[in-house]
Amino acid sequence: MKIAIGYLYYDLMNLYGESGNIKVLKYQLERQNIECKIYKLSINDNIDFNILDMIYIGSGSEEKTILALNHLMQYSKQIKDAFDSGKFFLITGNAIEMFGKYIIDLSDIKTKALGILDYYAVHGKRTVGDVCLKTEFSDEKIIGFVNHQGALYINEEKIDRHFIYENNFLATYVLGPLLARNPHLTKKIIKRLLLYKDSEYSIKPFDIDIEEKAYVEFINAKNYTSNI
């Protein structure tokens, strides 16, 4: 089996070392004896979503996010088709804002977004700090760091969510090495991806002992007893 991952805007949307998530995915897929092909694509490239099994976009500055979005808009129909068909997306940081209806910046300039989901983003007071999230995707909490100006709204009502999961589309405001810090998330994504490709594929053990230990120690050190 082969898995093709599109690492979109690797040169623009890598503000907090999001390339680490690609390294985790590739390493763990190869541990499953899967050939993993990474397509590093940016604004000077044509993107063929048909050949990709998974699409990844990391976080960037507000200016670079808009630059990437303007390029991505030409593929809005292909992205909607990919979303509807259950293709896998992993979207981190403020790239989450690209998949809503529009983005309103601090100057009240509205930029049309992809419109894949019903929310829209409004920039205002910056949110910075560690988060510990309870999600519908996993029984375990998601830990990480956020630093963003945007807040998500639906019908003028703010939605208090840092993590969105729908139809194999995972998006979160959490930055940086999300998968390295959340090994249970890595396992679940890879299992679902492989079984989506081949429902009879035999999943092999994961090499995540160190990451699991670090996750537990961080949870304990922070004394996370409630969700943010």
Q: pLDDT (tens digit, 9 = 90+) per residue, 189-200?
A: 999 999 999 999
The pLDDT tens digits along the chain (228 residues) read 999 999 999 999 999 989 999 999 999 999 999 999 999 999 999 999 999 999 999 999 999 999 999 999 999 999 999 999 999 999 999 999 999 999 999 999 999 999 999 999 999 999 999 999 988 888 899 999 999 999 999 998 888 778 999 999 999 999 999 999 999 999 999 999 999 999 999 999 999 999 999 999 998 887 765 443
Domains defined for the chain, CATH in brackets = 2-222 (3.40.50.880)
What pLDDT shows up at residue 227?
A: 43
b/e for 142-173, b at 16 or more Cβ within 10 A?
Answer: bbbbbbbbbbbbeeeeeeebbbbeeebbbbbb
**pTM of the predicted model as reported, rounded to 2 decimal places:** 0.93
Q: Is 4 left (phi over 0), alpha (psi -120 to 50) or beta?
A: beta
What pLDDT shows up at residue 220?
A: 87
Beta strands 54-57; 163-166: pairing state: unpaired
Sign of CA dihedral 143, 148, 149, 152: negative
195's CB contacts (< 8 A; 6+ apart) are: 201, 203
Q: pLDDT (tens digit, 9 = 90+) per residue, 152-205?
A: 999 988 887 789 999 999 999 999 999 999 999 999 999 999 999 999 999 999
Which stretches does DSSP call E strand in the chain? Answer: 2-8, 35-41, 54-57, 88-92, 102-104, 110-112, 120-133, 142-154, 157-158, 163-166, 169-172
